[in-house]
Structure 1
Amino acid sequence: MDKLRIVMNAILTIVVIFVCSLAALNFFSAPDRPGLFGYKGYTVISGSMKPTLEVGDYIVIKEIPFEKVQKGDIISFYQEHTLVTHRVIERNRDYLQTRGDQNNVNDLIAVTKANYLGKYQFRIKQLGRFLLWMQDPLVYSLIMAAIALRIAVLLLFKK
């Protein structure tokens, strides 16, 4: 029984650390924040980058200098107050031309240093769906209650 408890505590600890890390990354990913160690995370909400990125994927971008972005890179940027993640198809000195992999036409607005956010680093498939689900107030309340209950049990039954 003690081995099972040790394993369950280890699993719970890993889950709590993972969830707290994601929460911190999301908190620092707001437009007016610097990111977490230069990284920001976002959930893909459109199919414009299929099959490379799917709706519900969680992507992590890094703040790479605008001048280092190359043709073929996937970048995130703001287009009229909307976050967009598309592939660079043309690189000029002052701007980037982008297009979604699923789209037949280029984006109407070129990306400049002013609206550029960062370069795509990696994705975690479908984690974004889970994070959106966790933002539901009822689900969030249940998760917080479960964590509080677990802490209370640990404190009450500490040997």
Structure 2
Amino acid sequence: MIKLIKKVMSLLGLLFVVFVLFIAVLNYFSNPVKRSLFGYRGYTVISGSMEPTLSLGDYIITKEHDFDHLKEGDVISFENGQTIVTHRIEKTLPDGRLITRGDANRIDDQLAVGEDEYIGQMRFRIPYLGKIMIWLQEPIIFGIVMALIATRLLIAIFFYSEKESRETNTH
């Protein structure tokens, strides 16, 4: 029974490390001026303009999608100056630009989104992950998490080398 618990805990630890690394890499590639990670980018929702669809602190994953195939009702991310905005498409203008609006807003956005501002279409929402990511930006919390990950890796390396050593001595 203890062996099973150790295996489960080891697997959970590994999954946690893989998840943290995946989110870190995804965030690195989420800057609009950088290449995306296989077309995917991740963003933390920092306003309530898309309530109830997206809540403050949600984490969304967008995917590059052909601008010409977007339609009314799609939720897209785009650049508005130095800000990345995620809103719903309300209509398409005759010149092909898009009028967007946050679900909680009463009026359309002032900026019509063209292909140059467009980043991607929302594909996934992970509730509360953005809050955790903001929390992890605190230096003390970040240090503790990195120490835990390093400890987990050291334990895995030590356990593996100790096990390998025992197997070598028994042969």
TM-score of the superposition, structure 1-length normalised?
0.95
Question: Is the aligned partner of 1:131 residue 2:136?
Answer: no
User: Could you tell me how far 1:91 is from its partner in structure 2?
Assistant: 0.9
Structure 1: gaps spanning 5 or more residues? none
Aligned residues: 159
Inter-partner Cα distance in structure 2 for 1:44 and 1:107: 17
- Given candidates 142, 146, 149, the residue that maps to 1:147 is 149
TM-score of the superposition, structure 2-length normalised?
0.88
Inter-partner Cα distance in structure 1 for 2:100 and 2:123: 17
Question: Is the aligned partner of 1:35 residue 2:36?
Answer: yes
Q: As a proportion of its length, which structure holds more helix? A: 2
Greater gyration radius: 2
Inter-partner Cα distance in structure 1 for 2:31 and 2:81: 16
SS in 2 for 1:29: coil
Inter-partner Cα distance in structure 1 for 2:89 and 2:39: 21
SS in 1 for 2:13: helix
The percent of aligned pairs where both chains have the same amino acid is 44
Question: Is the aligned partner of 1:46 residue 2:47?
Answer: yes
Partner of 2:76: 75
1:12 alignment partner AA: G
Contact conserved, 2:13 with 2:152, CA < 8 A, in 1?
no
User: Could you tell me how far 1:56 is from its partner in structure 2?
Assistant: 0.5
Runs (4+) off by over 6 Å = none
User: Could you tell me how far 1:147 is from its partner in structure 2?
Assistant: 1.7
Structure 2: gaps spanning 5 or more residues? 164-171
